[in-house]
Amino acid sequence: MVVDLDVFDFLMAEKLKVNPSSNTKKDTSKDGGSGYTAACMFTFDELAVATEDFRADHILGEGGFSRVYKGRLESTKQIVAIKQFDRNGLQGNMGLQANREFLVEVLMLNVLRHPNLVNLIGYCADGDERFLVYEYMPLGSLEDHLHDLRPDKKRLDWNTRMKIANGVAKGLEYLHDKANPPASLKCDVYSFGVVLLEIITGRKAIDNSRAAGEHNLVAWARPLLQDLQKLSQIADPLLQGQYPATGLSQALAVAARCVQEQPDIRPHMADVVTALTYVASQKHDPEVQPTQRPSSGSSTPRNNGSR
């Protein structure tokens, strides 16, 4: 992938020029003494009450092996997000891995606290049921603001997108710093690269509603990333050209490094944070900076009304 990868090296060289006032490695864990609260253990019945027997209108979202509900804890009246793991996905060899990931997530998030990580309130391991209970985020998910934007909602501008990308990177770096053993770091970096491309393009990682050749975000972006003259075709049309050309190039350079097919070539999250901190610090002012015009090329327009 040839999106000027020298740009990534330039961003690394800019490390000393970025205001280091935000230290993402501050230990806010159990030993850090900054408001640590151990995760609670809930029963299945408690979570059933919280979600009114898992009513369909409480569903916030669904994934391949889980479903997330909005709930209200009877004991504290707190609004929470309750992630229910698919019981079928917990069976057999795949189930062993799923159970391991469940335990790792409980153990990790139980001791880690960070501004860019959602807080784990509790969990449930009742029979073959597995749940994680998180603090509820009333502003919704990133997907809500990128892919399912309602007509009455304001689009995310470039500055906000880079702030979000930097925050996600910092949260992941924090997890990597505390993870033991760090078994899937390079896999996580690839996944972050996909998320960064979603943030820049406004596209879903997999979207079968798009034209042939555009279903897979990374596969669609790769040939465009190889031509510096086509980078503007990657930017979300909803940005309407309101982004810095240099910032777009730099952010895409980071994404390109993260989604390299060879894991050893992918950067460490600490380097990604350094690069994106610089990109996010270069604010775009639409009043004084020119609107970018997309280069020629076809692309399926976005349809915000579909999922």
Residue 180 predicted with pLDDT over 70 = no
pLDDT given at position 161: 94
pLDDT band at 298 (very low <50, low <70, confident <90, very high): very low
287 vs 299, higher pLDDT: 287
- Look at phi and psi of residue 53 and say left if phi exceeds 0, alpha if psi is from -120 to 50, else beta: left
Amino acid at 196: L
> Distance (Å, rounded) from C-alpha 66 to C-alpha 83?
7
Q: What's the whole-model pTM score?
A: 0.65
pLDDT given at position 127: 83
pLDDT tens string 200-251: 999 988 888 899 889 999 999 999 999 988 999 999 999 999 999 999 999 9
pLDDT tens string 46-90: 999 999 999 999 998 776 677 899 999 999 999 999 999 887 655
Residue 109 predicted with pLDDT over 70 = no
Q: Which residues pair with 79 in a beta bridge?
A: 72
Of 53-67, 75-89, 117-131, 144-158, which gets the smallest average pLDDT? Answer: 144-158
pLDDT tens string 15-28: 444 443 333 333 33
Residue 260 predicted with pLDDT over 50 = yes
Tokens of 265: 């070539």
pLDDT band at 92 (very low <50, low <70, confident <90, very high): very low
Matching residue, tokens 């004991």: 75
Which residues carry a binding-site annotation? 83
Which residues carry a binding-site annotation for ATP? 83
**pLDDT averaged over the chain?**
77
Of 37-51, 101-115, 262-276, which gets the smallest average pLDDT? Answer: 101-115
Go through the domains of the chain in sequence order and give each one's CATH number.
5-25+140-281 (1.10.510.10), 40-135 (3.30.200.20)
Strands 79-85 and 66-72: antiparallel
305 vs 245, higher pLDDT: 245
Q: Answer whether 274's CB lies under 8 Å from 15's CB.
A: yes
Taking every pair of Cα atoms in the chain, the longest distance, rounded to a whole number of angstroms, is 61
295 vs 261, higher pLDDT: 261
